[in-house]
Chains A and B, each alone.
Chain A
C-alpha cells in the first residue's frame, strides 16, 4: 500500500542534543510538509518542499532545519531541542499544491525532551 512512513514513532532526546526525524513516502508526491502539533492545538506548518524547492514559514525557528535528498525522503533536524519543542511532529505529502490537493499524513513522531 502506498503510504507515508515516519521513524521513529517515539523519540526521547536530551535538552540541547541534536535530533533527526525522518519521513518517507511511496506515493511519489511532489510536495512534502513538516508540521508541529502540541496537545489540543492546530498543526503548525514548519516548512514544505515542492520537489526540491524549500519553503520556510516565516515564524519557524532557526533551530529547525530540513533536508529532502530525493523525492521519497525528507528529514527534520532539530539542532538544539528545548523543552518547548516537545510535541508531535507530523509529515504529510500531497501530489501537488493546488486547491483540491489533499494532504496525507504519516503516523507522526512524538518527541520528548528531557
Chain B
C-alpha cells in the first residue's frame, strides 16, 4: 500500500527553527508537495519538490531525497501565525496525490 508518515504534533518556540519530517512509500513518484492548513481552513500550497535537494522560499525551505523516500520542511524565524498543520503529499505513478495526516505545529511565545 501507499503510505505517508509525519509526526502527529510538534512544539517550537517563537523565533526558533523547526524541521518537520515526512517519509513516503508510494507506487511511483511524480513530486512532493507541502501544504499549510490553519485550523478550520483549507490547505494552502507552500512548496513543491521533484528533484533531490533543497528549495528555499523565504522563511520556508523544503528538502527531498528520492532515494530515501524522505522530505523535510524547515521553518525559520518562527512566528505565532505559523501555528498550523503541515501536510506532506506525494504524487504517485497515476498522478494521484497521496496525503499524509499532517503535523500539528504549536508555537509557544
Roughly how many angstroms separate A102 CA and B97 CA in the complex, as a whole number? 10
B92 closest partner in A (C-beta): A99
Residue of A nearest to B6 (CB): A42
The answer to whether residues A105 and B43 also contact, given A40-B104, A42-B101 and a CB cut-off of 8 A, is yes
Q: With a CB–CB cut-off of 8 A, which chain A residues contact B99? A: 42-43
Q: Which of B8, B40, B91 is in CB contact (< 8 Å) with A99?
A: B91
> For residues 25 through 48 of chain A, which have their beta carbon under 8 Å from a beta carbon of chain B?
40-43, 45
Say yes or no: is A21 at the interface (Cβ < 8 Å to chain B): no
Q: Which of B88-109 contact A (CB under 8 A)?
A: 91, 95-97, 99-102, 104
Beta-carbon contact of A98 and B101 below 8 Å? no
B64 to chain A, nearest CB (A): 13
Are the CB atoms of A103 and B97 closer together than 8 Å? yes
Cβ of B51 to closest chain A Cβ, rounded Å:
11
Per-position binary interface string of chain B over residues 25-61, scored 1 when its CB falls under 8 Å from any chain A CB and 0 otherwise: 0000011010000001111110010100000000000
Q: How large is the interface on B (under 10, 10 to 19, 20 to 34, 35 or more residues)?
A: 20 to 34
Cβ–Cβ contact B30 & A99, under 8 A: yes
CA distance A100 to B41 in the complex (A): 24
The smallest C-beta distance from A97 to any residue of chain B, in angstroms, reads 5
A82 at the interface (CB under 8 A from B): no
Flag A75-103 by CB within 8 Å of B: 1 or 0 each: 00000000000001010000001111011
Partner of B41, one of A41, A99, A104, A107: A107
Shortest Cβ distance from residue B26 to the other chain A in the assembled complex, whole angstroms: 12
Given A98-B95, A100-B31, A100-B48, verify A42-B43 contact (CB < 8 Å).
no
| Chain A residues in the interface with B (C-beta under 8 A) | 40-43, 45, 88, 90, 97-100, 102-108, 110
**Interface residues, chain B, CB within 8 Å of chain A?**
4, 8, 30-31, 33, 40-45, 48, 50, 87, 91, 95-97, 99-102, 104
